[in-house]
Amino acid sequence: MAKSTKGVPVAPAMAQVEEHLALVEQIVVQVAVNYPRHVDRSELVRAGVLGLVEAARRFDSSLGVPFDRFAARRIRGAILDAVRAADWAPRSVRALSRRADATEQELASRLGRLPSAEELASAVGCSREELAKLRDRVFRAVVLALDYQLGADRDDLSLGEVLHDRTVPEPSEELEGREMRGYLRDAVELLPERHRLVIVGYFLEGRTSEELARLLSVTESRISQLRSEALIMLREGIESQYGGAEEGRDEPAGRVARRKAGYASAIGERSNWKQRLTADAEDVPVAGRVRALA
């Protein structure tokens, strides 16, 4: 029969562990009432099981002590050690915090309401500021996982979901946005002159079609046409940067296709990735030219 390093048969020890797993659950239920709700019960169970395994390994039946009594002490000790190891607050702080909590409950029962900060501090024997500092130290000592469920149901929000600021983009989204703005800046700069002036004047400087038509000495319908053509060029030119290069791709046929391909290639070569990530889409030098025409 296989033996452990202590000379205790492994198979009977494992049989005792399996037989007394319910004892762990029972003890966790008993001790969990003494801990706040944020203490993970599954962590207590894991610590208790390790204590049970250690008890089975060290148990000596010749001492005349029943295994369940011997294991119960080991399980409780393992759970207590696990809680202390995860607790950042000193024992003195925890003891004073428990005293404050007990005093608060006693005052609430006697007064029929929750005591004020002044009443509680006076009963505990400290100032209001000292009591606030105590509570702050206790709160800062609580370490929670981001997947900690704030409610009892599975559908309740986790701590990570509550802390997540949805108004702030993720790092990957921020980088993608910067790269897109860099491509946009380059694409606008590489547009034909009139298309470029229309895009900058209309979208960046808020000019009307009538103003741009007067500046360029064309009709408003021509301004609308230039704007539509420029937007198509910008969209296709930027989209081509994310399509990837295809090996063995045939040369574009036709003058229009070659012009589009040349425009897309120029956008990709206009700046490197570092320059694109630090670019600002509104920092387009050609904007000064539109203002100068006015």
The pair of structure tokens assigned to 112 is 């029929």
> For the chain, which ranges sit under pLDDT 70?
1-13, 34-39, 85-94, 138-165, 244-253, 279-294
How far is the C-alpha of 106 from the C-alpha of 123, rounded, in Å?
10
Residue at 228: amino acid letter = S
CB 86 within 8 A of CB 143: yes
pLDDT at 234: 93
pLDDT (0 to 100) of residue 21: 87
How many Cβ atoms sit within 10 Å of the Cβ of residue 188?
24
Q: CATH: 2.40.50, 1.20.140, 2.60.40, 3.40.50. Which one for 171-244+254-293?
A: 1.20.140
Q: Where are the domains of the chain?
A: 10-86, 91-163, 171-244+254-293
Closest CA to 176 of 235, 242, 232: 242
Q: What is the pLDDT of residue 230?
A: 94
The pLDDT, as a whole number, for residue 29 is 85
SS3 content of the chain, % helix, strand, coil (to 5): 70, 0, 30
> How is 28-49 classified by DSSP, letter by letter?
HHHHHTTS-TTS-HHHHHHHHH
* pLDDT at position 218: 93
Domain 10-86 = CATH 3.40.50.880 = no
Residue 149: the pLDDT is: 60
Say what the pLDDT of residue 18 is: 84
The partner residues of 149 in beta bridges, in order of sequence, read 158
**Residue 38 φ then ψ, to 5°:** -75, -15
pTM of the predicted structure, to 2 decimals? 0.45
